[in-house]
Structure 1
Amino acid sequence: MSLFYYRVFDFILSFATERHPNTYRMQNVQRATLRQALNMEISINKNQVARICLILASVILLFFGILHLHGTFFSTDLYPSDLGLIEKLKTATIQMDESGIIWKLWIGFNAMFSVGLIFIGSVNLYLSTKHFEFIRGNNPILTLTICSNIFFVWIGNRYMISDFAISMAIPLIFFAIGYLIIQLKRLTT
């Protein structure tokens, strides 16, 4: 939209220049000032788009982390459908340690995974909303977040259900878009 206003303004100034040649120098200064203002506005809009992408990705991770935590402790959504298998898992142990009961490890793993998603989502949400300049200037944070999400998508495709892979791919896409906008903005400034 800003580019449209710039072109309209430039078009109007071109007519004024033809009619009043003495004002040509002043109009060039006005055009340069307008270009700078529009470039700043476009730059701010890119920052806002990157920030919104990071916020959306963070909220999605946070949501799925809370949903997974709920599914672990407050529902049977993550339980095996075979009730006999649950009983076997409650008595089976791992080879490394006899006290490692498979069922407790399953619940513990799901709880830790949930907290990991909640942590990643919360930290990125906080940084994206309160300290965007910090997250924009620190590649390692976004890079590690994107790498974590790539790993989640890979694990989801390889070992888990497709819904999980999709639920991790969506924030990955938003994080990647936000990251790319930030990197492209660095290259152009």
Structure 2
Amino acid sequence: MLAQTLIVASAAIVLLLGSLHLLYTFFSDKFVPRDAALTAHMQRVSPAITRQTTLWRAWVGFNASHSLGAMLFGALYGYLGLLHLPMLLDAPLLLAIGLLFLGAMLLLAQRYWFRIPLVGIGLALLLFAVGTALLLA
């Protein structure tokens, strides 16, 4: 079924992006500022909300939790799309939540991120939206 393939492909894209983001967070320097002095400063300074962490630790934690959210979306909708498609059909709220999540991620990508996540999330949203429309038709 085409709707199923599109929803699963959308989920796979988001799962891949989230997984790469998590790997880059912990096993690369891709999210380290180009300015070494800024990195050192982030490792010393606390945010206004608390002195129990530093901006650097918060930065790493935010990147990791962001990754986990994308991975959860991809795993959940991939699983439902592959093995429980009737459940998605019987629960249009889950489809709406998926569309809203991807739409919000696309807005964040447009405003704050760069081209690769923007294109990936845009494609995932398109596939999910078309799959949802076909599923509900």
TM-score of the aligned structures, taking structure 1 as reference length:
0.70
SS at match of 1:97: coil
Match in the other structure for 1:163: 116
Cα deviation digits, residues 122-145 of structure 1 (max 9, x gap): 000111111111112211111111
Match in the other structure for 1:98: 51
Cα deviation digits, residues 31-85 of structure 1 (max 9, x gap): xxxxxxxxxxxxxxxxx01000001001111111110000000001111111111
Q: Is it true that 1:67 corresponds to 2:24 in the alignment?
A: no
Match in the other structure for 1:14: none
Taking the aligned partners of 1:74 and 1:126, their CA distance within structure 2 comes to 27
Taking the aligned partners of 2:84 and 2:132, their CA distance within structure 1 comes to 15
Structure 1 residue 182 displacement after superposition: 1.6
Unmatched runs of 5 consecutive residues or more in structure 2? none
Query: Higher RCO, 1 or 2 (CA under 8 Å, sep at least 6)?
Result: 2
SS at match of 2:56: helix
Structure 1 residue 162 displacement after superposition: 2.4
Match in the other structure for 2:61: 108
Match in the other structure for 2:42: 89
Percent of matched pairs sharing the same residue: 24
Q: Is it true that 1:145 corresponds to 2:70 in the alignment?
A: no
Do the aligned residues in 1 keep the contact of 2:17 with 2:117 (CA within 8 Å)? no
Q: How does 1:8-47 map to 2 (within 5 A)?
A: none
May I ask how many residue pairs the two structures share in their alignment?
137
Taking the aligned partners of 1:167 and 1:85, their CA distance within structure 2 comes to 29
TM-score of the aligned structures, taking structure 2 as reference length:
0.96
CA-based RMSD of the aligned residues comes to: 0.9
Taking the aligned partners of 1:75 and 1:55, their CA distance within structure 2 comes to 28
Match in the other structure for 1:183: 136
Q: Is it true that 1:136 corresponds to 2:89 in the alignment?
A: yes
Q: Which residue of 52, 58, 62 corresponds with 2:11?
A: 58
SS at match of 2:116: helix
Match in the other structure for 1:126: 79
Larger gyration radius, structure 1 or structure 2:
1
Taking the aligned partners of 1:95 and 1:181, their CA distance within structure 2 comes to 48
Match in the other structure for 1:173: 126
SS at match of 2:119: helix
Taking the aligned partners of 1:124 and 1:164, their CA distance within structure 2 comes to 19
